[in-house]
Amino acid sequence: MEGPALNIHSRVYVSGHDGLVGSALLRTLGRAGLRNVLTRTRARLDLTRQDAVERFFSRSRPEYVFHAAALVGGIQANQQRPGDFIYQNLAMQTNVIEACRRHRVKRMIFFGSSCAYPKQAKVPIREDQILAGPIEPTNEPYAVAKIAGIRLCQAYNQQYGTDFVTVIPANLYGPQDHFDDSGHVTAGLIRKFHAARLAGAAAVTLWGTGRPKRDFLFVDDLAQACLLLMRRRLRHDIFNVGSGQETSIAELAALVSQVVGYKGRIDFDASRPDGIPRRSLDNRRIAALGWRPKTELTDGLRLTYYWFRRTLA
């Protein structure tokens, strides 16, 4: 696909701009000097409403779209609200993707998720593994909607010649994460160790053995990759974006406790479930475009903890 000519005057719409990914995109687009970045809060534009989305696109005519709005949550949320996870994500993405097609958006970036990959996919997971096997059942509602979004983008590219690109991020962390009930491991650890430090607790107990490994990416590095993908000539329509490194939960917990200044013990409750042992992404496609993550895990954790303390603690 030919790289569209994104420039500082381009009209760029970022959906979900106050979320983890959307806010990082705003910072990155601002640093890159883009002057016409369009945003709408959910109160002003509910993306599950097709008529409202259509009206917004007719009036605002975005040329480039980052669709970072979604209903996001962990295992518990998916199990409590499976209908909302399927319906709201399907509705939002279908409305936005269809509006991008109808209004001839030059390029749209849709965000998939690594839980859309099969449970047994070989790690590091390649982009061609979508629908290559059964998915992990605990996040199925969210994953089913993501798979539909990925295939809708590809189907429109094939049928209508649109330029819709899916980005599949690794486990993200950073400012503006949900530190309450997101199910995001990094945010959860920061909250837990911070509370334990304040309480002078002697020990913190974490679920599982601590052995599962994940790929943690600072969200501003993802945003940088997305800007690159919006600008460059692309030969694929799905890109994994991960750190390229595997970190065990125990290693992450040790780092977070250092950053937070918690001095007590860290115990693991091995009677609790561990989840999938490994889940890292094959980064070769995005690396071939010259992208590398810039933020070391410890530095990213420091920046995240700084934001947490300033904003929420």
Ligand X SMILES: NC(=O)c1ccc[n+]([C@@H]2O[C@H](COP(=O)([O-])OP(=O)(O)OC[C@H]3O[C@@H](n4cnc5c(N)ncnc54)[C@H](OP(=O)(O)O)[C@@H]3O)[C@@H](O)[C@H]2O)c1
> Active-site residues: which are they?
142
CB of 145 to ligand X, least distance (A): 9
CB of 134 to ligand X, least distance (A): 20
Coil/strand/helix, residue 68? coil
CB of 100 to ligand X, least distance (A): 15
For ligand X, the closer CB: 72 or 206? 72
The verdict on whether omega for the bond into residue 124 sits within 30 degrees of 0, i.e. cis, is yes
Query: Is 190 in contact with 237 (CB distance < 8 Å)?
Result: no
Nearest residue to ligand X on Cβ basis: 19
For ligand X, the closer CB: 196 or 221? 221
CB of 43 to ligand X, least distance (A): 7
| Alpha-helix residue ranges (DSSP H) falling in 35-111 | 50-60, 75-80, 82-102
Buried b (16+ CB within 10 A) or exposed e, 152-174: bbbebbeeeebbbbbbbbbbbbb
Cβ within 8 Å of residue 200, ≥6 positions away: none
CB of 216 to ligand X, least distance (A): 9
Interface residue list for ligand X (CB under 6 A): 16, 18-22, 42, 46-48, 68-72, 92, 111, 113, 169, 171-172, 184
Strands 247-248 and 213-214 come out as: antiparallel
For ligand X, the closer CB: 166 or 196? 166
For ligand X, the closer CB: 22 or 124? 22
Give the C-alpha separation, 26 to 13, whole Å. Answer: 10
Give the C-alpha separation, 118 to 143, whole Å. Answer: 10
Cα first-last separation, the chain: 45
For ligand X, the closer CB: 147 or 196? 147
For ligand X, the closer CB: 197 or 236? 236
For ligand X, the closer CB: 100 or 196? 100
Strands 164-169 and 238-241 come out as: parallel
Give the C-alpha separation, 178 to 21, whole Å. Answer: 11
CB of 112 to ligand X, least distance (A): 7
Residue listed under structure tokens 């429109």: 156
Q: CA distances (Å), 49 to each of 87, 133, 174, 240, in order?
A: 12, 33, 29, 29
Q: Give the amino acid at 132.
A: A
For 92, other C-beta atoms within 10 Å of its C-beta total: 23
CB of 185 to ligand X, least distance (A): 9
Q: Half-sphere exposure of residue 120, counting CA atoms within 13 Å on the CB side? A: 3
